[in-house]
Amino acid sequence: MSKVPTILQIVPDLQTGGAERTTVDVAEAIVNEGWNSLVISQGGRMVPELEATGAVHFELPVKSKNPWTMWRNSYLIERICQQNRVDLVHARSRAPAWSALWAAHRLNIPYVTTYHGIYKETNKFKAFYNSSMTRADKVIANSRFTADLVEKRDPRTKGKTSVIYRGPDVESFNPDNISDERITDLRARWGVSDNRRVVINLARLTEWKGQRVLIEATRQLIERGGYDDVLVVLAGDDQGRESYRQSLELQIAESDLTERVRIVGHCSDVPAALAIADVSVVASIEAEAFGRAAVEAQAAGVPIIVSNIGAVPETVLVPPVVKAEERTGWHFENGDAEELCELMAQALDMSAGDRAKLTKRAHDHVERSFTKQAMCDATLNVYRELLPTGS
């Protein structure tokens, strides 16, 4: 009788974010395949959700970048692998990837990595540190943009890199599947009345996510007149970046936007958040390796505006890549608050008919290219290529 494969994923923590969500989704797919699913992380608010899938969680300090801790973690990971007869290790970030790499090599078992972000390489030390992600048997990139960058930096990855787009559970974003109770609860917690038009930014509070640009665009929008009912919601955890959050609060106050822009913290119900949104904005000032928020907005039928860097051309379609009638959202020049303001006004002023056509195209685009099922199927196929015969 063949051994049931056991897959171990390693991610820094399970608080919030695209890498964390993908870890949970793939863990569930592994269980549904009838395999054994293990995850190592430093813990976080998503652990109960992970364990509810049937996956087993081990808590280790794998978020640490301390070389001694990383080396010690490798032996703890090796022990977990031996005790649970792990067949393949999949790492999703650089620090835990070093520990996973060392453990997998000592055990002579397949090692996979996923690039969820664009890591800076400003010097040889950074390049070496990043190489924990390219020393794998298979490298998964979450967009073509990411794959091209990885292969350019490390030509050894050519031929062993697979592009697997992240994918949401599209049905969970269907407004028909979101109860009035969830929407009412979220409106109450955020203090959003029914008569406000909502522009939402779903991103952790960090400088490169571009919240400052969105706040300035909002100031310009209100100055135009006719948008007094608009409320901009910044939904994301500051993850300890208190000084940045405070700087945003100061910018909001100095721009006289206290009643127009609201910082609400972590959002645990993204489908409900998008259900109350009229427009979604991704204002990142550095390249998005994928841009899950843009895909989720399109899945939810919410007009999306994104800055034009990174993997955006793959996730949100605009001319000249497609015909005008095939547009699924808008791009604006990275950091250009004036252009963002103009597009926000355009999106908010759309007729019901034009909005319906746009969001239908966007939803169909997601259904074709970015689904949870497709992502999980492709990931399990990478595992199958590497699993030993008989697993």
Q: What is the pLDDT of residue 291?
A: 86
The rounded mean pLDDT for the chain is: 94
Q: What is the pLDDT of residues 76-105, one digit of tens each?
A: 999 999 999 999 999 999 999 999 999 999
Q: Is the pLDDT of residue 258 over 90?
A: yes
Q: What is the pLDDT of residues 44-53, one digit of tens each?
A: 999 999 999 9
Evaluate the CA torsion angle 209, 297, 370, 271 in order and state its sign.
positive
Over residues 279-303, mean pLDDT: 94
pTM: 0.84
Neighbours of 390 (CB within 10 A): 8
Q: What is the pLDDT of residue 286?
A: 92
Q: What is the pLDDT of residue 16?
A: 82
Q: What is the pLDDT of residues 356-375, one digit of tens each?
A: 999 999 999 999 999 999 99
Give CA–CA dist 136/9, Å, rounded.
14
Give CA–CA dist 29/348, Å, rounded.
38
Q: Given pLDDT bands bounded at 50, 70 and 90, which one contains residue 281?
A: very high
Q: Is the pLDDT of residue 317 over 60?
A: yes
Over residues 299-303, mean pLDDT: 96
Q: Return left, alpha or beta for 17; rule: phi > 0 is left, psi -120 to 50 is alpha, else beta.
A: left
% the chain with pLDDT above 70: 99
Fold equal for 6-167+371-386 and 171-369: yes
Over residues 116-136, mean pLDDT: 88
Domain chopping of the chain, boundaries: 6-167+371-386, 171-369
Q: What is the pLDDT of residues 222-234, one digit of tens each?
A: 999 999 999 999 9
- Overall fold of domain 171-369: Rossmann fold (3.40.50)
Q: What is the pLDDT of residue 1?
A: 44
Over residues 126-134, mean pLDDT: 91
Over residues 240-251, mean pLDDT: 95
Please state, in angstroms and as integers, the Cα–Cα distance from residue 153 to each residue in 118, 126, 148, following that order.
Answer: 11, 12, 9
- Overall fold of domain 6-167+371-386: Rossmann fold (3.40.50)
